[in-house]
Structures are given as C-alpha cells and as structure tokens.
Structure 1
Amino acid sequence: MIFVTGGAGFIGSNFVLSWLAQQDESVLNFDKLTYAGNLNNLVTVRDNPQHIFVQGDICDTELLHALFAKHQPRAILHFAAESHVDRSIHGPAAFVTTNVNGTFSLLEAARAYWNGLEGESKADFRFLHVSTDEVYGTLSAEDPPFTETTAYAPNSPYSASKAASDHLVRAYHHTYGMPVLTTNCSNNYGAYHFPEKLIPLIITNARAGKDLPVYGDGQQVRDWLFVTDHCTAIRRVLEAGRPGETYNVGGWNEQTNLSVVHTICDLLDELQPKAAGSYRDQIRHIKDRPGHDRRYAIDARKIERELGWKPAETFETGLRKTVQWYLDNDAWVSDVQSGDYMKWVDLQYSNKE
C-alpha cells in the first residue's frame, strides 16, 4: 500500500486515479477536504476496494501514527498543501500551518514509523515530497531555467512555506537518514483543476460570459506541465529515484499568461463558438498582484537523464484535452463553484482596473 496525502486535490486526485488505473496496489488517500479537496474528483474509484479514503489533517500526528501502524504503507507521497499564491497574500497563516507545520508533523510520524520497520521493509520505504518551482524565485528573460542546484529565493508566502517544507524534508534525510525524495514541478494543468487558477478560471469565465482577468501586461512566463505527465514523473521517481535527491519536473512549455489566455479563447472559439464575436473580446487587464514573479522555467534534463522520463504532451495537445474536459464536465464545475468560492473570486478580481 501507498499512503497519499492531499489525494482529493487537483494533482493528488489525478495521481490516485492514474495509480489505480495502472498499478495493482492499494492507496490510502488522506485528505482534509478543504475548499480545494473534492471527493467528486474520485467518483470513478468510489467502489474500488483498493482505494481507502480517510478524512484527516496532516497536523494530526496521533491519527497519522494510528494509520501508519494499521496499514503499513511502503511509501508516503505528500501532495497536501495550500497552493494558491493569491490566497497566501490575503491569508498567509494557513500556508504556514499546512505547508510548514503539517509537513513537519507528517515527517515526524513517518520517521517514527520508518524507525520501527526492519529489513527490506525499512530499506525499501520512501517518503516522496511534491513541491514547486516557485521556491526558486523569479527569472529574467535571459536567465537559464531552474536546475536542482538553483539557490532558493521564494517571493510569496506560498513559495516561502513550500521552501521551508523542502528544507525540512532534506534535513530529515541528512540528519536521520530517512529515505526521502523531492520533486519540484512547474505549473500543472488538466482535469479536476479548481477554477481559481489561471487555465480553469479562464475556461469557466469565458463560457459564463464574464471578464477574463489578466494580471498587468500578461507577459509573465510560466512553464506548463500536463498533470498526467506529472503523475507519470512522480511514479518514476518513486520507483527509481535516489534517496535524498531532488528532481525538477517540467513540461518544456514556456508560455506568457496572455498567450495562454489567447490559446484558450481560440480553442473555445473552435469547440464552442459564441453567437457573435470571439472569447478574446472578454479579456480585461487588471492591476498586477504584489510580488508577481516574472518568469519560471524548469530544466528537466536530470529526470530524463537519470530516470528516462520526459513529458508525453505538448502544450497544444494538453490544453486541447483540458478545454474539452471542462466542456464535457459541467456538473463538476457547477459543484465546485460554491458560494464560498464565488466570494473568493469577487475578493480577488473585482475593482482591479
């Protein structure tokens, strides 16, 4: 069995679904079910006996001890995190609580469990920590992409909290010898993405006839990684990664935010055209957010060189699949757009000109 934290969130649920579709091994899915955790993401495995769901908080060390003792996982995959930069600006405390204190609690419980293992079970155990490229800070247009040895320089409460969690994971390997692995990924996109992030927000707003908000000049650059490619990379790191190592996972798809919005509009014009005009007509530039990093880019050569992984999707093929998924899943979109979510969108994007 593997133990997955945050397995009802965007990346975590995609990982659980892909794991159960391809592996004959059970998953204990441990999720707090905050606003971004959604059991509807997992409806296709609801009756799968290899999927065990437990609602809980990674800060609850006592519960973690009990679950590890009962289920004896061979690996822990840590997806659970507060992950939205804008939310971290408005309320950083939750990010410190979950990303820093929660990771510490999980590491402590995992260390106690690992210390109690013997023989091959102890040697084969792994703790895989899923992190972000945002810990490296920002790049200029001329800078080379981030590598695994790039110095950390986080610029938001979110990225600072993830950097802290990365450092804790590293310390548990070097101090206690715990067999940890860390992945730092670029921006993910795909099915089940909560519609506060750029790509699903633009898709849902466009279809609803709402403004398509673009921060500043829209020339911020991100490297985009299709979520199923990310899941494949994580499985490969778990299978063959060297304990104590970090692996950057990227899509080799650098795009400006504005070009992403334009591409989504063009796909919607093709797949679900408006009665008149283009979805591009709904684009509105708004005041940039504080401390907005200009460019992220991942150098993913290490994971390809050492583990043989590279992305299967281009940005064009992945984005087309993503837009089509949202067109085909209106019920899911309607369900996640609760009153609390809409209040958040109003707070973040209203009155910014």
Structure 2
Amino acid sequence: MENPTEFRLEGDGIDLGTLPKVSLHDHLDGGLRPQTVLELADEIGLDVPADDAESLAAWFAEQSDSGSLVEYLKTFDLTTAVMQTREGLSRVAREFVQDLAADGVIYGEVRWAPEQHLAGGLSLDEVVDAVQAGLDEGADDVRAQGRRIRTGQLITAMRHADRGLEIAELAVRHRDRGVVGFDIAGAEDGFLPSRHRTAFDYLATQFFPVTVHAGEAAGLESIRSALIDGRALRLGHGVRLAEDLIIDRQDDENTYVTLGPIAQWVRDREIALELSPSSNLQTGAISAWGDELIDHPFDLLYQLGFRVTVNTDNRLQSSTSLTRELALLSEVFGYSLDDLEVFQLNAAAAAFLPIDDRDELVEQIEDGFSEA
C-alpha cells in the first residue's frame, strides 16, 4: 500500500494525508497489516499463500479484484482465521487504530462480526472486550505521539446466519464500553435485511443506531428493506441507490434527474451513503454504469445533494487508505479542498456519536482544513 502522505491535491500541493478525516465504513478483518497476518498465521501453524508481506499484499489485491462480492469475501477466510484468540484480536485492533491515525483519521468506526471469531473458545462478550482493549491501546499509542483519535465499534451480524437478535443484544450490552452501533454484512444478494427484523425491532426499542449493508451486491429492494425493516440511519455502500435516479436529459453543462421514491426519502432525510469507491469497483457494485472510477455514480449523488461520505471498506483487500480514496476522487472528478471538506463534514454529521461530540469533530475538521 502506498504511504498515505504521498498523496497531494493536484494544483494546490496540499498533503492530503495530514487533513483530519472521519472513517465510517472500515472492516476490522479487512484492515490487517500483511506482516501481522504472516506472524499470527505462523503462531497457529496456518498456511498462507505467500512467504513475505509484499507478496501477501499483492495476493490479497489480486484475489479481491474479481468483480464479484462473493469472491471478494473469500479473502476474509484468511484474515478471520488469525483473529481467533484474545491476543490476535487485540493486536489487530491496536494496529488498526495506529494505521487510521497515520492516515489522518480523527474518528473511526470499526465494524466487525464477533460471531466469526469464536473458534478459539472465546465467548461473544470476550471477543468484544478483546477488540476494545486493542482499540484503547491503539488510542494510547497515538496519544503518546501527541495526537488524538477516537474510535467506536460497530457490531455486525452476518446476514446469512440466524444470530441477529443475539448479536443485537450483544451490541447493546456493550454500548457503554465502546460499541456505538449495529450492522449486518456478508453476502447481500438473497438475504434481505427483513430476515433480521426481530433484531432491528429490538434495537429500535433500545434507541440504538443502525447502519445496514445495502445497495452493493443487491439493488433497490435491499435498500428499501434496510430503511423500512432496519430503520437504517446510514446505508453501507448504498451505491445502487443510483438505480432510483431517472436521467431525463443531459446537455453540455447539466444533467436533469428525477428522483424515485426511495432516493427521495434518502436524500430528504440526509441518510448518509457510506460509499467506498475502490471497493465498489472491485466487487462490481457499479457494473451497471461501467468499470472505471469515472463511471461511479458518486459525483452524481454528490451533485444532487445526497449526504455522501468516502470510505475504504477494506484497506488490505483494496490496497488503499482514506487519503488515497480522496486523492482518486479528486483526480477523476476534479474535486477541490472544499469538496473534500464537505465529505468529512458529512461523515462527522452521520457519526454514531452524541451531538456534542459530533460538533467537536466538525470543529476539528474545519480547523484542520482552514490551516491546510
């Protein structure tokens, strides 16, 4: 992966790596360091497809660039395999925070599925505690370097499994110990959020915030279910919401669009879209529009006033960073520093934090961008 500080805003020469950022969609098991995978695998006698960190990073990137979410998800068999002990979970979480901070992130929500980390004999509560210990240690490391970062866990249930309510109860049980929200993830097509309606009903009674993976491998029906059954405050990816946009006509300067009912609802209620440009290309989420970043409906959604946010999804699989994603978008769509600030302010407004804390994030972002 490139050093995030190597990216500069074209024309201005601004170091994008130093800008304050908010990360809302970043998977713990998709953000491991290749060297850590090698070392943890060696400790448990697990075979890996490469002998050195550089080669392993290349393997992850190649395997993930298939155009299929199902194939993309298979790479997680390796990362989750080395995250089955308290020590492994804590180490990965600690390094995750260190890497976020190195990328300029001041607040990051870390999503992961505890039910996938029980093979070593730990309980659901124990794995959540292990990850939180690592997150806290990472924040202490960052603080010792004279910087600060805050994180929150997004506890995720696997949408193809039947543990939704159990995982929802787990999330609420840890709401005062680092957990800030709930999510469902995994193979989206064929597994509507309505499958976990009981869990979402419970979370609503607990006033517990929800984001739902929807609009990535499946379309408007999945998004509709996320909004109705899941009461989603944010959409994980949500890129296929663009299927509900009807382009009436175009001229040299403008595109005239009619919003369908789902898109209208999402825009009017400022439900954040957790867009992940590189990942969306890799998984084929934007295949209806093309296979290059210029084809991504990100800019159309932005110009129409949707609350778009920029995310990495899985830094290891996509060989990326939040800084890199911003640089790619700027290069392709000609975004200015002001645009990049809007994306961070959108993310801060959508964070699963009390409003006073969100206001503090906004202040940090505005100060950081004004000094750039």
Range of TM-score over shorter length: 0.3 to 0.5
> Which structure is higher in RCO with an 8 Å CA cutoff and minimum separation 6?
2
